[in-house]
Structure formats: C-alpha cells, structure tokens
Amino acid sequence: MFPYMFHPADLLMIPAMIIALWAQLRVKSAYAKYASIRTQAGVTGAQVAHQIMLQANVAGVAIEPIAGQMTDHYDPKAKVLRLSEGVYGGDSIAALGIAAHEVGHAIQDANSYAPMRLRHLMYPISSIGSTLALPLVFIGLIFNSSFSGWLVSLGIWLFTAAVAFTLVTLPVEFNASNRAVKALEAGNYMSREELAGVRKVLGAAAMTYVAAAATALLQLLRLLMIARSRD
C-alpha cells in the first residue's frame, strides 16, 4: 500500500488544476474584453431578458439585480432571474449575452427540459457526494479494517454521483447558450459582429463547466487508483 500522504495517482491533479486555471483565465479574459464594448442597440441586460421571456411566453419569472461580478443565475425554485449589477444595467456585448443565457435556463424550466429536470433530481445526492466523499475515502484509507473498506467504497460511490452531476450540467449549459444566441439574433438585438462576441463569451463560460467535469473525472480516477492499491 502507498503512504496516505502521497500516491502516484495524485499526479492526476496536476492536469486537473491546469485545465481549471486555463478555463478561469479564458472566461475572465473574454468577459473583460466584451464587457467594455457597448452594443449599438443600447438596451440593458435586464431589458433584453424581459423581452426574450415575453417572446418565449415565459411568465411569472422576476428579474432582480445581485451584487458581485459573474454571479448571474436563474433560481428555478423562486422563479427569479438574478443578474449581476454589470449585466442587469449594462448594455455591453457581455451583458446581453449573459442575460440571454440565464433566460435560456428560465425557458428550459418552463419547457420542462429533460436534462435540467434530471439535474434538479440529482442535486441533493450530488451535493452530499461532493461534501462527504473525500473525507469518507481518506478516513477509510487511514484505518485498516473491513469497515474502513466500506467507507472507501461509499465515498467513491458518492463522488461518482457528484461526477455524474457535472456531466449532466454540460448539455444544460450548452443548450442555454444556444437558446441565448438564437433569441438575440431573432430579436435583432445585436449585429452579426456583436453576436460573434457573445459566442466567445458564452463559449468561454461553457469551458469552465467542461473543465469542472474533466477535473471531477480525474479526481474519480485518482480515488479509484488509490482504493485499488489499498486492496
């Protein structure tokens, strides 16, 4: 058995960290660039979000500003679209793209989009898995008994659920971005050049979810390799 403090499988975390860092730098760079370019239409993210929801016949969803940068999200339980202050009142290419993307989630919810519903169902167990899996695995590795082996197995199964959640998230995010671009184009809110900027911003944001899924898979592989060497 390899020492608990280090295992060759730990080296898998190096590419995981590189992927995650690359994705974060890419999205920050794209956002910084296109948040500084105002659209010709001059409408704000909140206004575009409201209009797109009207066109999609999505009712009962409030639009609220929220503090911070890149804190935008759709809350399906409260039926609230929360846009960061720079997106809510901003008229930049990034602001309109992000607002439209979050509306895409509201439309998914209204249309009972299957991957989104599945993600909601998976969230409770995946949340538990992401919180408890690693502690269970490492506690199990410390103690050499049949019970500790059970802890390791439980931890790996819980983490597998968390990994599955990151994979199911991918089609949800890509679909929301596709809906956003189509809605902005159909509503003539942006020029062709501005839409190209939106695609770059949303594409960079999507890569953060791809990176999260890749990192989770590498972590799962690491845990499996460590558990196998223990046996």
Give the pLDDT confidence of 33-55 residue by residue, as tens digits: 999 999 999 999 999 999 999 99
Residues in the chain: 231
Percentage of residues of the chain with pLDDT beyond 70? 95
116-161 confidence digits (pLDDT tens) = 999 999 999 898 888 888 888 888 877 766 667 788 888 899 999 9
Task: Tell which wins on pLDDT, 160 or 228.
Answer: 160
What is the reported pLDDT for 5? 58
Label residue 3 by pLDDT band (50, 70, 90): very low
HEC sequence for 21-32 = HHHHHHHHHHHH
Instruction: Evaluate whether residue 1 is within a structural domain.
Output: no
37 domain residue, yes or no: yes
At 10 the pLDDT is: 82
Q: Which residues are catalytic?
A: 102
Please indicate, yes or no, if residue 2 is contained in any of the structural domains: no
**140, part of any domain:** yes
> In this structure, what are the phi and psi dihedrals at residue 69, rounded to the nearest 5 degrees?
-115, 135
* Percent of the chain residues past pLDDT 90, beyond the cut: 75
How far is it between the farthest Cα atoms of the chain?
67
Domain membership flag for residue 131: yes
Task: Tell me if 217 is assigned to some domain.
Answer: yes
Report the pLDDT averaged over residues 8-15.
Answer: 86
Residue 17 has pLDDT above 80, yes or no: yes
Which of 44, 48, 47, 87 is closest to 65 using CA atoms? 87
Taking residues 171-188, what's their average pLDDT?
96
Report yes or no on 130 lying in a domain. Answer: yes
pLDDT number for residue 184: 96
The mean pLDDT value of the chain amounts to: 91
Q: How far is CA 213 from the centre of its chain?
A: 9
Which of the two residues, 114 and 137, has the higher pLDDT score?
114
Per-residue confidence (pLDDT) for residue 161, from 0 to 100:
93
Domain count within the chain: 1
Cα distances (Å, whole numbers) of residue 53 to 49, 81, 180, 183, 184? 6, 11, 11, 10, 12
Q: What is the pLDDT of residue 111?
A: 96
What is the four-CA torsion angle of 151, 157, 159, 163, rounded to 10 degrees?
170
Q: Which pLDDT belongs to residue 146?
A: 64
Measure Cα distances from 35 to 119, 137, 201, 229 in Å. Answer: 30, 43, 9, 49
Residue 3, domain member (yes or no): no
Range of the domain at 17: 8-230
Q: Rounded mean pLDDT of 97-103?
A: 98
Our CA dihedral for 212, 218, 223, 225, rounded to 10 degrees, sits at: 170
